[in-house]
Amino acid sequence: MTELQQAPITLALSKGRIFEETLPLLQDAGIEVSEDPETSRKLILSTNQPDIRIIIVRASDVPTYVEYGAADLGIAGKDVLVEHAGGAHPGALYQPIDLQIARCRLCVATREGFDYEAAVQQGARLRIATKYVRAARDHFAAKGVYVDLIKLYGSMELAPLIGLADAIVDLVSTGNTLRANGLVAVEDIMPISSRLIVNRASLKLRRKKIQPMLDVFQRASQETIA
Ligand code: PRT
Ligand code: MG
């Protein structure tokens, strides 16, 4: 057996909502994770199955680990996958299953009282602050709206309040964060959920081990929809 065939199957997850919402799917498949990443400092977690391990990485790094084959599988939000598109090895990522977890919406939001429709109709050049530069650029290009995109890494809600931007493009789930900051969602860009991603070479070389995991996630996602 080659070294690769002996290595455990590696699943890349981010801690927080994706880990928490993936745990029940793993449990349904009889996979128990050894430790809780919220309390443990370990970044490699073993499971009750010697040939399956989990690595904990930043949400936006999940596609990179899978693309390079450092992880065989990963779970990432569609927002992250859209921004990652066209990475170093396009085509290395296979995206077979929408797990329907960690759902939210990617939206345009402005300060309450800002007339977004009027600004768009007047052809005003809008300043948009966002972490989701690619999704935002595509959205406004499709609408034919000129925008100046300002890249931020977090706390986007602050930008319209402090005069950095006219609007933000951000994820919204309950809407509490927008409300707490006097902002309103004025346009939906796309619904977001988390997807299973698989390294294509791993799938080919290690199909025997990976296919049962795909089957498990496929079943679990169908149960989520039902
Ligand atoms: O936090 P870090 O910078 O490490 O990375 P991350 O923010 O990308 O990770 P994490 O764990 O926060 O999010 C992982 C994935 O969860 C995202 O990539 C999304 O696909 C998904 N998801 C689902 C969300 C939300 N819902 C969500 N509400 N990610 C972030 N949020 C944030 C949003 O950006 C905003 O600040 O929550 C706030 C709004 O929430 P509400 O409920 O107040 O509307
Ligand atoms: Mg976060």
The confidence score (pLDDT) of residue 1 equals 54
Closest-lying ligand 1 atom to the alpha carbon of residue 177: 43
The confidence score (pLDDT) of residue 4 equals 60
Q: Which CATH architecture has domain 104-191?
A: 3-Layer(aba) Sandwich (3.40)
- Both ends of the chain: CA-CA distance in Å? 41
Ligand nearest to the CA of 74: 1
- The helix (H) or strand (E) run that includes residue 44 is strand 44-46
| 3-103+192-225 CATH pick, 3.40.190.10, 1.20.120.400, 1.10.3720.10, 1.10.10.10 | 3.40.190.10
Confidence of residue 61 (pLDDT cuts 50, 70, 90): very high
- Is residue 3 pLDDT above 70, yes or no? no
Angle at CA of residue 65, ends 63 and 66, nearest 5°:
65
**Cα 106 to averaged position of ligand 1 atoms, centre (Å):** 10
How far apart CA 56 and CA 37 sit, in angstroms, is 8
Closest-lying ligand 1 atom to the alpha carbon of residue 172: 44
The confidence score (pLDDT) of residue 226 equals 65
As a whole number, mean pLDDT of residues 205-219 equals 93
pLDDT digits (tens, 9 = 90+) for 103-145: 999 999 999 999 999 999 999 999 999 999 999 999 999 999 9
The binding-site residues of ligand 1, defined as CB within 6 angstroms of any ligand atom, are: 14, 16-18, 58-60, 77, 79-80, 102, 104, 170-177, 192, 194
pLDDT digits (tens, 9 = 90+) for 15-41: 999 999 999 999 988 899 999 999 999
pTM, rounded to two decimals: 0.95
The confidence score (pLDDT) of residue 52 equals 96
Residue nearest to atom 26 of ligand 1 (CA): 104
Ligand nearest to the CA of 173: 1
120 alpha carbon, distance to own chain's centre: 29
